[in-house]
Amino acid sequence: MKIAIVLYPTYGGSGVVATELGMHLALKGHQIHFITYKQPVRLDLLNDNIYFHEVHVPDYPLFQYLPYGLALASKMVDVTKQYGIELFHVHYAIPHAYAAYNAKMILQEEGFNIPIVTTLHGTDITLVGSHPNYKPAVSFSINQSDYVTTVSESLKADTVTIFNIKKEIQVIPNFINITHDKTDFTDCNRKLLAKDSERIITHVSNFRPLKRIEDVIHIFNQIQKEIPAKLLLAGDGPEKEAMEQLVLDLALEDNVVFLGNTNDISKLLCFSDLFLLPSEKESFGLAALEAMLYKTPVISSNAGGIPEVNKHGYSGYLSPVGAVDEMANNALKILKSDEILKQFKLQARKQAAQFNVTKVVPIYEALYEKALKNK
Ligand code: GMT
C-alpha cells in the first residue's frame, strides 16, 4: 500500500508512534510518505520505502498566523498525485484531521477517492481539542474521517463523552519493539551518571504542567532521604525553569540531572531502576511503556489510559493523581530490596511484551485494507 502519514515531528508521543508505525510498515514492504514541517526525530530516512515531504509555510506581511493547515492540505494533494497515495493516516486531530478532510475534498474534485484514518492521541481530545475555539472543527473533522482510532479505551470513552461522535471508534494501543532492548548497544554504562550504591530514577516528558514534574521531584526527595539515589530528568518544555528552581530550593542539585531533549532515551532507560509518571492526564503513557521495555518498573498516577499499560503490583504501582507520599512509599517498596527490584524489572518487561509491534501493526494494516476495500 502507498500511505501518507501526517504527524508532529517533535518529541511528543504521537509523533514517535506515527514514526515507528511508518518505519515498521516500510519494513513490511509498504511505501510510506511522512508529511510534516520538519524531519521527525526518530525517522531514519536511510531505509527502503520511506519518503519525507516537508511542508513549507511561506510568510507574508498580512499573516499574523501562518496558515500551516492550508499548506499541509496542499502538500497532501501534491504528494498524492505525484506518488499515487492510496490512504491518509493522520496522527493527532489538530490540525491534521481537518487538513486531511480538505485534501480529500480537493482530490475528489479531480477524481481521486482517498480514505482518511485518524488516530487520536490524547491532548487533541482532552485538552486542546475540547477548547471551545477548536471544538466544532475537531468534532467535524473526526466525523468526516473514514475510520477513527484511539490509543486506549480511556481515550475512546473521553472522545465519546466530549464530542458528538457518529463514527465507530476502534482502540489500537501504542506499541514498542521487543527486539529493541539492552543488547541494542554496548555502552550501557551507569557509572557515567551514578555511583554503584545509588538507585537511578528516571522521568521523560515534554515538561508541560499536566506531567506534574513537581510531584516527580517531591517523590524523589522522599526516596533519597531513605536510600542513595539519582534522578534523571529528560526532556524540555515550559516547566523546566521552575523545576530547576524547585531542585535548588530542596537542595537536591547534586542528585538531580536535567538532560534536556535527547534521542538516547534507551541508553538512560537501560540503567534506570524506576520510572516516574505522576501525570494529571495521560491517554496511554508511551514513555512508561518504553521504560518497561527496558525492564524499568513504573510508579505512576492512575490517570486516563495509564492503568491499561502499567499493572498495579506487577509492572509497578498506580496511585491517585497527586498522592505523592503513596507514590514515594511504593517506590521505596520496590527500590529497597534487590530481590524485589529484580522481580519488578522482569515483570515490567513481560507486561511491555503485551504491546509488541508485531501484535499491533497488523491491526493497522487490516484497517487500511478494510478502508481501501470499502472506499
Ligand atoms: O503530552 C504528551 O505526552 C504528548 C502527547 C502527544 O500528542 O504527542 O502524548 C499523547 O500521545 C501519546 C502517544 O499516543 C500518549 O502516550 C500520551 O499519553 C498522550 N498524552 C496525553 O494524553 C497527555
Closest by CA to 91, choosing from 128, 60, 124, 50, is: 124
pLDDT at residue 181, rounded to an integer: 60
Q: Do residues 210 and 239 touch, judged by C-beta distance below 8 A? A: no
pLDDT at residue 94, rounded to an integer: 92
pLDDT at residue 185, rounded to an integer: 52
Q: Is 121 in the pocket of ligand 1 (CB under 6 A)?
A: yes
- What is the chain's pLDDT, residue by residue, as a tens digit (375 residues)? 999 999 999 868 999 999 999 999 999 999 999 999 999 988 888 789 999 999 999 999 999 999 999 999 999 999 999 999 999 999 999 999 999 999 999 999 999 999 999 999 998 898 888 899 999 999 999 999 999 999 999 999 999 999 999 889 999 999 999 886 654 555 667 787 888 899 999 999 999 999 999 999 999 999 999 999 999 999 999 999 999 999 999 999 999 999 998 877 888 898 899 999 999 999 999 999 999 999 999 999 999 999 999 999 999 999 999 999 999 999 999 999 999 999 999 999 999 999 999 999 999 999 999 999 998
Q: Is 301 in the pocket of ligand 1 (CB under 6 A)?
A: no
Q: Is 14 in the pocket of ligand 1 (CB under 6 A)?
A: yes
- What is the number of the ligand 1 atom nearest to the C-alpha of 281? 23
pLDDT at residue 253, rounded to an integer: 97
Residue with grid cell 475534498, as numbered in its chain? 105
pLDDT at residue 187, rounded to an integer: 62
- What is the number of the ligand 1 atom nearest to the C-alpha of 14? 8
| C-alpha 214 to ligand 1 mean position (Å) | 19
What is the bridge-based pairing of β-strands 274-277 and 199-204?
parallel
Q: Is 12 in the pocket of ligand 1 (CB under 6 A)?
A: yes
Taking the C-alpha atoms of residue 154 and residue 328, their distance in angstroms, rounded to an integer, is: 26
3-class SS of residue 158: helix
Q: Is 309 in the pocket of ligand 1 (CB under 6 A)?
A: no
Q: Is 315 in the pocket of ligand 1 (CB under 6 A)?
A: no
Residue ranges covered by each domain of the chain: 2-175+356-373, 178-353
Which CATH superfamily, name and number, covers 178-353? Answer: Glycogen Phosphorylase B; (3.40.50.2000)
The answer to whether 2-175+356-373 and 178-353 have equal CATH topology is: yes
Q: What is the DSSP letter of 355?
A: T
Taking the C-alpha atoms of residue 315 and residue 306, their distance in angstroms, rounded to an integer, is: 12
Which CATH superfamily, name and number, covers 2-175+356-373? Answer: Glycogen Phosphorylase B; (3.40.50.2000)
Closest by CA to 207, choosing from 240, 231, 241, is: 240
| C-alpha 224 to ligand 1 mean position (Å) | 29
Residue with grid cell 486542546, as numbered in its chain? 128
Q: Is 284 in the pocket of ligand 1 (CB under 6 A)?
A: yes
134-125-136 Cα angle (round to 5): 30
- What is the number of the ligand 1 atom nearest to the C-alpha of 92? 7
Centre a 10 Å sphere on the Cβ of residue 25 and count the other Cβ atoms it contains: 22
